[in-house]
């Protein structure tokens, strides 16, 4: 099975459209959370993923927008965006976000936003936190997001090791692996292009990809819609 891995789209419809135009034929799309928050087009982004039949889990921004809770943990720009998204979305759209699973098993993999210790909030940046998740994994493949940085963590002895993937390269997956495709809508690894990945569950490989999109268009929409300007500025630097 060929699966497109997306995460942290963050209401950046222009970036999502560019990615979906670039993806090869596939059997499924898995989205590891934070579909809304930060960006200008939360409603249209949700609609496009629904139209593509994507399998979606909940992220911290999704839940904050859905419920209005957890905003205290956000920086001021993130909280301001979550409040605006909450106001823009319909009750049905907010209910759909609130109903998203935190952890979902599909196609032999386990998908979540943060980690298996804390699916909503924990950032898996290092091998220690990765090892804690890999230890809890009941499938040999896990997929997450949340850090906005593409990564592969593999079980290594009692711990884990990190592979920093490069764009346009294909990596074999070890016996137990955690794959983060990076962020479509707000990359934070210094590359402004949308980040995503393509999984082949039969070959047990993952290929990482970057797709350029019209950053200026998204920046214009962010400013036009009254979102904090900082959220537009950071997209150009991919930070
Ligand atoms: Zn995010």
**What would the pLDDT profile of 92-111 be if each residue is shown by its tens digit?**
999 999 999 999 999 999 99
For 8, left (φ over 0), alpha (ψ -120 to 50), or beta?
Answer: left
For residue 157, report the distance from its CA to the centre of ligand 1, in Å: 30
CA 236 – CA 196 distance, rounded (Å): 18
Residues above pLDDT 90, as percent of the chain? 95
| Per-chain residues with Cβ under 5 A from ion ligand 1 | 8, 34
Beta strands in 7-150 (DSSP E): 28-31, 55-56, 103-106, 109-112, 141-143
pLDDT tens digits for range 191-222: 999 999 999 999 999 999 999 999 999 999 99
pLDDT tens digits for range 72-84: 889 999 999 999 9
For residue 124, report the distance from its CA to the centre of ligand 1, in Å: 13
For residue 11, report the distance from its CA to the centre of ligand 1, in Å: 10
Beta-strand relationship, 177-180 and 141-143? parallel
- Cα distances from 7 to residues 11, 47, 90, 101, 150, in angstroms, run 11, 16, 23, 15, 10
């Amino acid at each position: 099975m060929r699966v497109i891995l997306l995460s942290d789209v963050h209401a950046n419809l222009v970036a999502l459209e560019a990615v979906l135009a670039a993806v090869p034929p596939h059997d499924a799309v898995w989205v590891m959370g934070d579909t809304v928050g930060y960006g200008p087009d939360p409603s249209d982004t949700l609609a496009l993923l629904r139209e593509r039949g994507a399998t979606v889990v909940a992220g911290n921004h999704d839940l904050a927008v859905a419920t209005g809770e957890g905003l205290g943990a956000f920086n001021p720009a993130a909280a301001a965006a979550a409040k605006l998204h909450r106001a823009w979305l319909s009750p049905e759209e907010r209910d759909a976000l609130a109903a998203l699973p935190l952890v979902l098993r599909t196609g032999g993999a386990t998908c979540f936003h943060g980690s298996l210790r804390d699916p909503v909030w924990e950032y898996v940046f290092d091998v220690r936190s990765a090892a804690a998740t890999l230890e809890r994994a009941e499938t040999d493949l896990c997929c997450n997001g949340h850090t906005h940085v593409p990564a592969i963590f593999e079980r290594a002895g009692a711990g884990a090791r990190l592979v920093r993937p490069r764009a346009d390269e294909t990596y074999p997956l070890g016996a137990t692996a955690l794959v983060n495709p990076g962020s479509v809508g707000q990359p934070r690894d210094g590359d402004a292009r949308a980040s995503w990945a393509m999984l082949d569950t039969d070959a047990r490989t993952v290929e990482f990809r970057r797709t350029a999109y019209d950053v200026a268009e998204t920046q214009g929409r962010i400013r036009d819609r009254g979102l904090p300007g900082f959220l537009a500025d950071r997209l150009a630097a991919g930070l």
